[in-house]
Structure 1
């Protein structure tokens, strides 16, 4: 196995162009598991740890956070909870403290596992993935278009993930997941939600309940229409029990889960409906409280 260790971003892109089958490694929390269990034996590893720009984050135009691909989950929790609350909540659920110190959103995106904890929060926030190649330069991939199949993403063979662009939250966001224990567990299913009052929309993200992470678009359209019809964004009135329950049902219908060792398809659908109801209620309660505080 070749081990490539570029010192600059340009060197990394050149190495990826020369060795398209090389697997990028930063935190190694996914890659090394595959190697250690002999599930995957890549011809080359491309170590990205020495590339400075991958480890930084900044606030760009329109209050969008540009998050370097190698920024760890621990740093997201410590430094970006106020701006990216949904992603921060998801980061809290990733493995152990040691894994959160090493694991990255860029690695989660590269692995493209349906069970990746970052995906529902990114879908709910409406982020974009910045990728680059030596030949074609940089391009932006909307998060909705990034996931193509089980552990397949929209990267070309010679491309690397440079950063993720995530809009700063303007209203409450939530994330929750079901697992066989409270910590260091792969999600049986997970769900993220973000309120976007300036656009009059609610975005969602479903994890570990379909071949790819996905949004529950029918549920989003239902709750957006309900809030528009009742003037809910302006009045911040209570959401009726029937509305919350229907939202949960539509989220469950958006999933296409399977039976596996972690849970049955039926259980995943049931759990998603519960998570959707809870996170919508939590988010809306927080939104209402913020309105009362501002008044």
Structure 2
């Protein structure tokens, strides 16, 4: 196995162009497990630990966009970005142990592209963009278009993830997952919901309940209509219980789960519905409307 260790970003892109089969190594929280159990044996590893800019966080981006370098650890997201990226910070807090959160990153999560990646639902709900680069140039990929299948994404063979661009929250956001413990487990399922008052829309993200992370688009459209027709954005009126129940049903319908050792497909659909209803209650209760907020549960 060859070990490539570029000193900077330009060298990293050149190495990836010369060796498209080289597997990026940053935190190594997924890759090293596969190597240790002999589940994967790549011909080359591309160590990105010396590429300093990948560890940068820019919170003064255009349009209040937070730019997370690909190897910014979850620990930094939890400690520094709770206000601008609340759902992602909540998701980051559930990732593994403190040691794992000190090494694992959103960039690595995206590169692995697991349907159960904890960061993915929050990124979908926030409408993130993934910055990919190669010696040919760079591009911003909408998170909706990034995942193509289980552990597959749209990156070309010569591309690396440089950063993730996430607009700072303008409304409440939530993330919740089901597992045998609150952390240090792969999610049975996960759900994220973000309110976007400036566009009067909501976005969702579902993890570990389909071949890829997905949005519950029908549920979003339904809730957009309820909030608009009922004047909820202006007055903060509670979402009717019947509407909250229908939103939960539509969220569950967006899933295409499987039976596995962590849970059955039926259980996952049920759990997603529960998480959808709960996160709707939590986000709307935090919506800063003049009349306050009330329960939708």
Q: Structure 2 length normalisation: TM-score?
A: 0.97
- Whole-angstrom CA distance in 1 between matches of 2:291 and 2:97: 36
In the other structure, the counterpart of 1:120 is 121
- Whole-angstrom CA distance in 2 between matches of 1:143 and 1:76: 19
SS of structure 2 residue aligned to 1:183:
coil
In the other structure, the counterpart of 2:98 is 97
Aligned ranges 1:49-128 → 2 under 5 Å: 49-58=49-58, 59-128=60-129
- Whole-angstrom CA distance in 2 between matches of 1:78 and 1:217: 31
In the other structure, the counterpart of 2:176 is 176
In the other structure, the counterpart of 1:133 is 134
Equivalent residues of 1:69, 1:106 under 8 A apart? yes
Deviation of 1:180 (Å): 1.6
CA RMSD after TM alignment: 1.1
Q: In the alignment, is residue 201 of structure 1 matched against residue 208 of structure 2?
A: no
Equivalent residues of 2:235, 2:290 under 8 A apart? no
SS of structure 2 residue aligned to 1:62:
coil
Q: Which runs of 4+ in 1 moved over 6 A?
A: none
Deviation of 1:34 (Å): 1.1
In the other structure, the counterpart of 1:190 is 190
Deviation of 1:38 (Å): 1.1
In the other structure, the counterpart of 1:253 is 253
Deviation of 1:290 (Å): 7.7
- Whole-angstrom CA distance in 2 between matches of 1:31 and 1:186: 15
In the other structure, the counterpart of 2:211 is 211
SS of structure 2 residue aligned to 1:209:
coil
What runs of 5+ residues in structure 2 fail to find an aligned partner?
none
Q: Structure 1 length normalisation: TM-score?
A: 0.97
- Whole-angstrom CA distance in 2 between matches of 1:159 and 1:181: 36
Q: Which stretch shows the higher mean deviation, 123-132 or 29-38?
A: 29-38
Report how many aligned residue pairs link the two structures.
Answer: 292
SS of structure 2 residue aligned to 1:165:
strand
- Whole-angstrom CA distance in 1 between matches of 2:271 and 2:127: 24
Deviation of 1:138 (Å): 0.6
- Whole-angstrom CA distance in 2 between matches of 1:239 and 1:218: 17
Q: In the alignment, is residue 36 of structure 1 matched against residue 36 of structure 2?
A: yes
User: Are residues 291 and 101 of structure 1, via their aligned partners in 2, closer, same or farther at CA, if it must alter by over 3 Å?
Assistant: farther
- Whole-angstrom CA distance in 2 between matches of 1:288 and 1:267: 34
User: Are residues 158 and 237 of structure 1, via their aligned partners in 2, closer, same or farther at CA, if it must alter by over 3 Å?
Assistant: same
Deviations 1:16-57 (A, max 9, x none): 011111110110001111111111111111000101110001
SS of structure 2 residue aligned to 1:61:
coil
What runs of 5+ residues in structure 1 fail to find an aligned partner?
none
